[in-house]
Structure formats: C-alpha cells, structure tokens
Amino acid sequence: MNKNLISFAVAAVLAGGMTAVQANSNVTVYGKVMVSIDSSDDSAGNSDTNLNSRNGFGAIGVKGSEDLGNGLTAMFQLEYGTNPAAGGEFGGRDQWLGLKGDFGMVRAGTVTTNYKQSGAKLDPLWRTSLDIRETGGLSSLHGGKGEQGQGRATNTMRYDSPSFNGAKIVANYTLDSGLDEEDGYGIGLHYDQGPLFASFDYINNGVDGEDDAWKLGAKYSMDAIAVFGHYERGGLVDSLTGMGESGANLWHLGGSFSMGSTMFVATFAQGDDDAGTEYDSWRLAVKHDMSKRTSVFGGFARVDVDGATDEDDLFTVGMVHNF
C-alpha cells in the first residue's frame, strides 16, 4: 500500500513537471518534401530527363520557444536540407538561437539575410523546380550559404524590429572568420500589410571592390489576382547563376491568377552585366493545392541569351508535401 502511494506521488510530481514545461515551451518538428520530373534541352542538342529534389528545396527541422516571462521569449531553429532523389545530401540551413521581446527579435547563428527573405516573398513557386532563381529572375544573392553575401549567412547576427503599421527594419551583421577581412552586413525596410508587400534591401559582403548590391521589390494581391516584381543592381549581382559576370542589372515582372485551388503563374525577366552578357527568360506554370499541405505543379521555362545560340528549355512536373 505504501509503495502504491509513493508511486502515485512520484507520478503526480512528474506529471505536474511535464505540464509546467509544456505550458512554458513549444517544440515543433516540421519539414517539406519536393520531387519533380525535369526534362531539359538546349540549343546545342543536349537533353536530359531526370528526377530533381534539390538539396534545400526540401527540408526537415525542429523549432521551438520558451516563455521566459516579463515579455521575453527564447527561440531556436535547427533546419537541414534534404534530397530524396539523391538519397541523402543532408545539408544545414537556418540554424540559430534567439530572443524575442518588445524590442523585436535578435538571432545568432546561420540565418537568412534580409536580401533573400524579401525575394522569397515574391515567387509563388519558391523552392520548386520552377523556382524563379533557376531561370535568372533573381540573383544568386538569394541562394547559397556562407560569409560573402550568400542568401543564408553563416556566423551572423540578425535583428528584426517590431512592426509599425506593417513596416519593420531587418538587419544582419556577419562576423567574418577570415583574417584581416571586413565584416559583411545588410539592412532592409520591409512593408507587409493587407494586399501590399514592398521592400528595399541593401547588402555588403565586406570584400574590397564592387562588394555590394541593392534591390527594390513589391507584390500586390487583389482577390484572385497578384502582380509582383523586383529590380536589383550592384557589384554582387550576377546576371544569371553560373553564367555571365557580376555588376548586373536584373529585373523580373510576374503575375498569378487563382481559380479555387488552382493558380496560374507567368513571369518575364531580363538581365545584363558589365561583360555584355544579356538574356531574357520567362515561365508559364500551374499549381494545384490538393490539400493545405500537399500540392502539384507543372510548367515550362526558357532562358534565351542574346547574341548567342544558347537557349535552355525546361519542362517539369512535380509534387510538394509540407508537414
């Protein structure tokens, strides 16, 4: 009888402790899986059909928070990119520890820059095989990971101010781990309220020479219709990832139209750089939400480099599941 009472008392204490922890903290496992079938060909006659699930287009992570009282909240995120088609490539993404309060939010670790974050808000096909970054609609400053202006900045602290009627300041500062090198930084003003998102962003990677870039972006939604676009310029801007030189002018315009759970998307982009490389690109796509977490998509994209025979076409169909 005494043993039963002791066991009951211990269980009650443990249950009370767990209840207290659950009341003050929140930990969530989440993720995304994207797989597509891509058929590509170019003007040189090269063609290929393959599976694509690009590392980082899919991810798995854990995030959480703890109420510290007095208006303070401790927060963390640990996210890893996945590639089901390749059966591995488990790479790190945003991973940070932070503190949130009336002053805003401060994070330290590996974080998405202000420059990349505003670009992600403009593309309804972000992190799919039809991602606008794949066809030169956004510069490589919206991708990669490192300390030299990449979209995911390592060794970095980021500050998000409180929102003032939809407007907030986003700033990040990178402590360069190299010897005798300057630290990189970025700052942006983002407005997100009602039908309008608008942003101005600046980034500097701390390297001598043409080491910075700036960008304007906006998206306006009207019921079933949305229009979006951006313009970016600077020494860090390349005209197309893997093609051309830095110092580019780069812009895109696009729109979407939704009918129930189905969205139609069209975009057009142009880029040119200091070396004289110029190109046009466009996308036509459709995305259908099968549920709140699962969608399918398909479309066609073309990149046409002026003054050359280089013309790349992509046809793709795919599926996304979020959990």
In angstroms, the Cα distances linking 9 to 17, 20, 21, 108 are 12, 17, 19, 42
Give the whole-number percent of the chain exceeding pLDDT 90.
66
One-letter amino acid at 183 equals D
Confidence of residue 112 (pLDDT cuts 50, 70, 90): very high
- Give the residue with greater pLDDT, 24 vs 218: 218
Between 168 and 22, the more confident residue is: 168
- The mean pLDDT of 138-144, rounded to a whole number, is 91
Question: Using CA atoms, how far apart are residues 24 and 64, in angstroms rounded to an integer?
Answer: 11
Looking at the predicted structure, is the pLDDT value of residue 181 above 80?
no
Domain extent listing, the chain: 28-322
pLDDT > 80? residue 300: yes
Check whether 13 has a pLDDT greater than 70: no
CATH architecture of 28-322: Beta Barrel (2.40)
Angle at 157 between CA 152 and CA 162, to 5 degrees: 100
Confidence of residue 247 (pLDDT cuts 50, 70, 90): confident
Identify which of 219, 206, 309 has the alpha carbon closest to the alpha carbon of residue 267. 219
pLDDT of 54 higher than 90: no
Q: Is the separation of the CB atoms in 199 and 190 below 8 Å? A: yes
Residue 209, pLDDT score? 61
Point out the least confidently predicted range of 146-155, 207-216, 250-259.
207-216
Instruction: Report pLDDT digits (tens) over 67-111.
Output: 999 999 999 999 999 988 888 777 899 999 999 999 999 999 999
What pLDDT does 206 receive? 80
pLDDT tens, position by position, 24-51: 569 999 999 999 999 988 877 788 999 9
Where does the pLDDT of residue 202 fall: very low under 50, low under 70, confident under 90, or very high at 90 and above?
very high
List Cα–Cα distances, 203 to 24, 94, 239, 240, in angstroms: 37, 18, 17, 18
